Structure 1
Amino acid sequence: MKLFSGSTSDVLLFDCAAAASEIAFMLGGEWDGCNAIVVPSSDKEAVNAAANLVGASWCYQGASTALLARLSTNELLRRYAAGERNFANANLRCAVLVKQNLSQCNLSYVKFNWANLSGVNFSGADLTSADLSDASLNEANLSLSSLHRTLLTRANLSLANLRGANLFKASLNDACLDKADLTGANLSFADLRGASFDDANLTGANLTGAKLTQGQFSVAVEVNQ
């Protein structure tokens, strides 16, 4: 039976890596080692049939509603130790990853809300559009990380290292950044209303177009606007 037609390719995202691997085999696709496969222009009914066989959910890459892959903290750390760095779209809500190393990872669109990420090394990681609302990130290393459009509402970033981080259009409403190091960080057009910056270092930070509460920087912080 012919499953695919045409010369273009589709990227399909599944809710776990094991399902993606099995369905790639069934449909003759290329598995990325995570939760995605690349197939020739796909027959949706054939994909649904394969997904039903393994009890998986799926969506096209770029779909308006992102599919979040189920991922345990143990599996995340095991795969990171094995050299994998792509964990985009993973669901790690409420995860406990205190002082773990996740540097240089693709964590875009990951759901980390309510997670305990204290002391985690996220240096150089891509956290674009991730959900870190209500997460504990105190003393985390986020230097040179991409936090573009990232949701950090009510997050605890006290004593965090955010040197050179890109927080363009990030949402930091009511976040705690007390004693955080934001040297050279890009906070342009970020929403900082209600966030606290007591004793934070914003030397060289870009605050162009940032949304601020009146008198927000009345405490002693180093700021360049």
Structure 2
Amino acid sequence: MKPAEELRLRYARGERDFQQLELLKPDIGGGKLEYANLTGADLSGANLRKGFLRGIRLEGANLSQTNLEMANLEMATLVDANLTGANLRNARLSPVESELRANLKGADLSNAILSSACLYDANLANTILVGTDLSQTDAQKADFSSCVITQANFNIADLREADFSNCQITDTNFSGADLREANFTNTILERVNFNGANLKEATMYYSRLTDVTLVDADFSDVDLEYTELEGVNLTDANLNSEIVYNADPKIPIDAGELLTRYAKGERNFVRIRFTGQSLFEADLSEINLFEADLGAVDFRGANLSYANLKGVKMVMSNFSCADLSYANLRGAKLLGSDLSYADLSYASLTGADLTGADLTRADLIYADATEAVLSGAKFEGAECRGFATENAILVVSNFKGAKNWHCGIGAFFLNTILEDGYVVCGPDWSE
């Protein structure tokens, strides 16, 4: 009996647990495996076309090159599944106005075909979308947060209210897509095509757009607060409506007032909005700037040891030669900041975003960057003894010449330069 036939028979007899099952290119086209547990199974190259797979568990399964065209995957769990090269054209993953949501969190969808698939409100957070075809998909309200998106195709996709926050998006096509009220907060967009797209009332707070084209796009009422635009083509784009800058309820404080109050013994400056520019060589050790909005500040040579900078928002700030030892930078936004020669020993950078940051020759001894975004960051010549990078995002990161660095488990590589100059093209994860 062929393995596929045996699987069908066991399922028909009531068996549902098929964990770690290995089948060589099984043909189960049109078959029913509703609520089956295939966690960790190897179904690479399988034919599951038009399969009724509602509620199926495929966590960590190998579905590379699998044919899932027109399959019913409502409520399916595909967390950390390998779907590279899979065909999900017209697959039903998350039907509109239903609770039957598919969970693809952390899945690898490199070169997968999802054109015309239904992904309404689906969870695709932390997925790998390299060369993925999502054209004409219905992905309203879908969660694409913290994804690595390169050379993907979202042409004419319905992405209303979709979440693309904390993503790195390069060489990707959104032409003709409906992105009304989509969220691109804290996202890096390079060489992205939005020609003819509708981005009305989208949010691009704290994002960076480089060489992006918006020809004939509707770019009205877009929130561009603290957004960097370089080489953006807005030919014939609709900018008739006033660009929205959200009101900022935080208390404004300039450099003089902050230093004066600090000198008098005050340390608590929670959620302030800093309106100054330079705190050059300032002594601010143990200051509490929790969730402060600091913009772009000159902290060169400043003493911020033991400071609480958790959740602060900064763009293109200069911390060169600053003392940040033992500082709490958990969840901080440090996009494009200069941390060269800075002392970050024993600092907590868990979940921080250091996209594009310069950490050349920084002291990172026993600093913790677990789950941090380090995409495009430079670590050349940095001292990395005990530097924790478990589950960190290392897309286009440069560790050439870094000293004593050992990559943490679960870190994601894509065109990452290691300390010896070797390039990990990826996508890949450290083990």
Q: Identify the TM-score tier after normalising by the shorter chain.
A: 0.5 to 0.7
Q: 1:221 to 1:17 in 2, by over 3 A?
A: farther
Equivalent position to 1:212, from 188, 191, 194: 194
Q: Residue type matched to 1:157 in 2?
A: A
Describe the shift of the 1:87–1:198 C-alpha distance in structure 2 as closer, same or farther (beyond 3 A): same
Q: How far apart, CA to CA, are the structure 2 residues paired with 1:136 and 1:128?
A: 18
1:90 and 2:72 are equivalent in the alignment: no
Report what 1:130 is aligned to: 112
Conserved in 2, the CA contact under 8 Å of 1:17 and 1:33? no
Identity of aligned residues (%): 27
Within 5 Å, which residues of 2 pair with 1:52-63?
none
Deviation at 1:99?
2.0
How far does residue 212 in structure 1 lie from its aligned partner after superposition?
Answer: 1.7
Query: Is the aligned partner of 1:70 residue 2:41?
Result: no
- Asked whether the equivalents of residues 17 and 34 of structure 1 are also in contact (C-alpha less than 8 Å), the reply is yes
Greater helix share, 1 or 2? Answer: 1
Query: Structure 1's 213 and 95: CA in aligned 2 closer, same or farther, altered over 3 A?
Result: same
Q: TM-score, normalised to structure 2's length?
A: 0.36
How many residues matched?
A: 165
What secondary structure does 1:117 align onto?
strand
Give me the whole-angstrom Cα distance separating, in 2, the residues matched to 1:17 and 1:179. Answer: 43
Is 1:107 matched up with 2:80? no
Letter in 1 for 2:142: A
Q: 1:34–1:88: structure 2 CA closer, same or farther, 3 Å change rule?
A: farther
State the AA in 1 paired with 2:154: L
Q: Which amino acid aligns with 1:89?
A: Q
> What's 1:166 paired with?
148
Q: 1:76 to 1:69 in 2, by over 3 A?
A: farther
The equivalent of 1:222 in structure 2 is 203
2:24 paired residue among 35, 42, 46: 35
Distance 2:113 2:62 in 1: 17
Unpaired runs of at least 5, structure 2: 6-20, 26-43, 95-100, 210-431
CA distance in 2, matches of 1:106, 1:122: 10
**RMSD of the alignment, in Å?**
2.6
Partner of 1:60: none
User: What letter is aligned with 2:61?
Assistant: R
User: Deviation per CA, 1:89-135, whole angstroms, max 9, x where unpaired?
Assistant: 11110011112211110011111001111121000000110000000
Residues 54, 76 of structure 2: 8 Å contact kept? no
CA contact (8 A) 1:169 1:191 kept: yes
User: Quick check: 2:54–2:72 contact (8 Å CA) kept in 1?
Assistant: no
Match among 167, 172, 187 for residue 185 of structure 1: 167
Q: 1:107 to 1:100 in 2, by over 3 A?
A: same
Gap change, CA 1:146 and 1:34, over 3 Å in 2: farther
Aligned to 2:228: none
Provide the C-alpha distance between the structure 1 equivalents of 2:116 and 2:136, rounded to a whole number of angstroms. Answer: 5
Give how far 1:33 is off. 2.0
Answer yes or no: is the 8 Å Cα contact 1:139–1:161 preserved in 2: yes
Q: Using a 3 Å threshold, how does the CA distance of structure 1 residues 208 and 111 change in structure 2: closer, same or farther?
A: same
User: Does the 8 Å contact 1:34/1:87 carry over to 2?
Assistant: no
1:195 to 163, 170, 177: 177
Does the Cα contact within 8 Å between 2:77 and 2:104 map onto a contact in 1? yes
Tell me the TM-score normalised to structure 1 length: 0.66
Provide the C-alpha distance between the structure 2 equivalents of 1:74 and 1:97, rounded to a whole number of angstroms.
7
Q: What is the CA-CA distance between 1:186 and the residue it aligns to?
A: 2.2
Larger Rg: 2
How far apart, CA to CA, are the structure 1 residues paired with 2:162 and 2:156? 15
Partners of 1:34 and 1:86 within 8 A in 2: no
Higher relative contact order (CA 8 A, sep 6+): 1
Structure 1 stretch displaced more, 119-128 or 70-79? 70-79
Residue 84 of structure 1 and its aligned partner are, at CA, apart by 5.9
